[in-house]
Amino acid sequence: MIFENLEDYGCEEVAFFYDKGSGLKAIIAIHDTTLGPAWGGTRLWSYHNEEEALIDALRLAKGMSRKASISGLDVGGGKAVIMAKPEQKTEALLRAHGRFVETFKGRFLTGEDVGIGVEDAMIMHKETDYVAGISKEVGDPSPFTAHGVVCGIKACAKDVYGSSNLSGLTVAIQGVGHVGYNLAKELHKEGAGLIVTDMREELTRRVSQEFGAKVVTLEEIYSVDCDIFAPCALGAIINDETIAKLKCKIVAGAANNQLKENRHGKMLYEKGIRYAPDYVINAGGLIAIYMESKHSTAEEGMKKVEEIEEKIWRIISVSKEHNEPTYEIANRLADERIRNKRREQETSKKA
């Protein structure tokens, strides 16, 4: 079954790690290293079983390959997942994970993701140099991710509403953790109205108090009247059940793997809802960390992040020209760059 899953997702390698002392159970999936070493954050989540964790790692790793490719970065895609509850996160567990990352000797570089913050990444860094997003220059990549999402939303708004001005539009944000909070902050400055939800009441309370956001339940967020739905939590939330509830014209958010299946991207298209492919619009954090590795400043990194607006606009334009869903256009562009690089490498070997 494991090899079948690797084949289904096109992944090169998957490794499992168990540390008895800390209780760490982790998986690292490397999807593709054609463009360079695999980059991908570490996610800590209470998975139901090993298969669910493996599939999540494989899906996320593939998304990272496409994210790096379409962003013009010379790195590949990978992902690490830790099977644990938040209360099981200890320094010993994080350091054990750092040792796991170290075994790849640079073929895999990790950082923050769901359940893993900057302080956690710094603990992992005690055991390995292959951790990003902990420098003073960039630090927490969440603001960069959020800014990229705002840029992508502006491209969608320009297409759907005729203007990139977000003032007066209503955005429903699902998940107001690190990225979702920064997204709400930027959208509030842009003059947008906010509707939010999150599993953690203290997070929605904060956004409500600071930005005047309306708070709704986890289930209500799909059916609220809004202009833009911004998924910023976990993946697979665009599916048969939720699409039927949506009352927006744009889906554009920071969550990875938003489409449960590819056909759901087509369903959005047929319903007249403009979808910003997730790995394009949420690439800001990865771009910032990559730029940092090239010794760029935070300002230069942010400027590179702002190119997301033009990328989303290009994808939308091609989608309309060819009458194809946006996710298909994005997949084709991302995969084409990897294929072309692979051909170059094969030709070089033969020469």
Instruction: Check whether 350 has a pLDDT greater than 80.
Output: no
Lookup result for tokens 């690439």: 283
Q: Would residue 210 count as lying in a domain?
A: yes
Query: Does the pLDDT value for residue 135 go beyond 80?
Result: no
Domain CATH code at residue 13: 3.40.50.10860
148 and 284 within one domain: yes
Q: Do 152 and 225 fall within a single domain?
A: yes
In a domain, 329, yes or no: yes
Is the separation of the CB atoms in 60 and 79 below 8 Å?
Answer: yes
56-94 pLDDT, tens digit per residue, is 999 999 999 999 999 999 999 999 999 999 999 999 999
- CATH number reported for the structural domain that contains residue 242 in this entry: 3.40.50.720
Is residue 345 in a domain? no
Q: Please say if the pLDDT value at position 113 is more than 70.
A: yes
17, β-bridge pairs? 26
Same domain, 190 and 299: yes
Q: Where are the beta strands (DSSP E) in the chain?
A: 13-19, 24-32, 38-39, 42-45, 76-83, 108-109, 170-174, 193-197, 214-215, 228-231, 250-251, 274-275
Identify the weakest region by mean pLDDT among 69-73, 134-138, 210-214, 304-308: 134-138
The per-residue pLDDT for range 236-259, each reduced to its tens digit, is 899 999 999 999 999 999 999 999
288 and 165 in a common domain = yes
Is the confidence at residue 24, as pLDDT, over 80? yes
Could you tell me if residue 69 is inside a domain? no
Closest by CA position to 334, among listed 144, 154, 40, 64: 64
Q: What is the pLDDT of residues 41-50, one digit of tens each?
A: 999 999 999 9
Q: Higher model confidence: residue 137 or residue 253?
A: 253
- Same-domain check for residues 167 and 98: no
SS3 category, 170? strand
Q: What is the pLDDT of residue 323?
A: 96
Residues 196 and 306 in one domain: yes
Instruction: Answer yes or no: is 43 within a domain.
Output: yes
Residue 34 and residue 156 in one domain:
no
Number of domains in the chain: 2
Domain that holds residue 214: 142-335
Res 138: pLDDT: 66
Does 129 have pLDDT greater than 70? Answer: yes
**Lowest mean per-residue pLDDT among 119-133, 181-195, 292-306, 327-341:** 292-306
**From 25, 62, 67, 79, active-site residue:** 79
pLDDT in tens, 262-312: 999 999 999 999 999 999 999 999 999 999 888 888 889 999 999 999 999
Asked if 232 and 207 touch (Cβ cutoff 8 Å), the reply is no
- Is 205 part of any domain? yes
pLDDT in the model for residue 48? 94
SS3 at position 312: helix
* pLDDT score of 351: 67
| Whether the Cβ atoms of residue 175 and residue 231 lie closer than 8 Å to each other | yes
Within a domain: 131: no
103 and 38 belong to one structural domain? yes
* 1 pLDDT more than 80: no
Q: Are residues 148 and 17 in the same domain?
A: no
Residue 165 and residue 311 in one domain: yes
| Residue 140 reports pLDDT greater than 90 | no
38 vs 45: CA distance, rounded Å: 21
CA distances (Å), 309 to each of 4, 24, 86, 180, 325, in order? 37, 39, 35, 18, 18
Q: Give pLDDT, residue 297.
A: 86
Cβ–Cβ < 8 Å for 69, 335: yes
Q: Are residues 105 and 146 in the same domain?
A: no
Beta bridge partners of 116: 113
Per DSSP bridges, beta strands 170-174 and 228-231 are parallel
Average pLDDT over residues 214-237: 96
126 part of the active site: no
Contacts for 123-126: CB closer than 8 Å, 24+ residues apart? 123/91, 123/94, 123/95, 123/98, 124/42, 124/94, 124/95, 124/97, 124/98, 125/98, 126/95, 126/98
Question: Considering the domain boundaries, does residue 148 fall inside one?
Answer: yes
Domain check: are 98 and 203 in the same one? no
Structural element, H or E, at residue 135: none
* pLDDT per residue as tens digits for the range 144-170: 999 999 999 999 999 999 999 999 999
Question: What pLDDT band is residue 317 in, cutting at 50, 70 and 90?
Answer: very high
Q: What is the pLDDT of residues 173-209, one digit of tens each?
A: 999 999 999 999 999 999 999 999 999 999 999 999 9
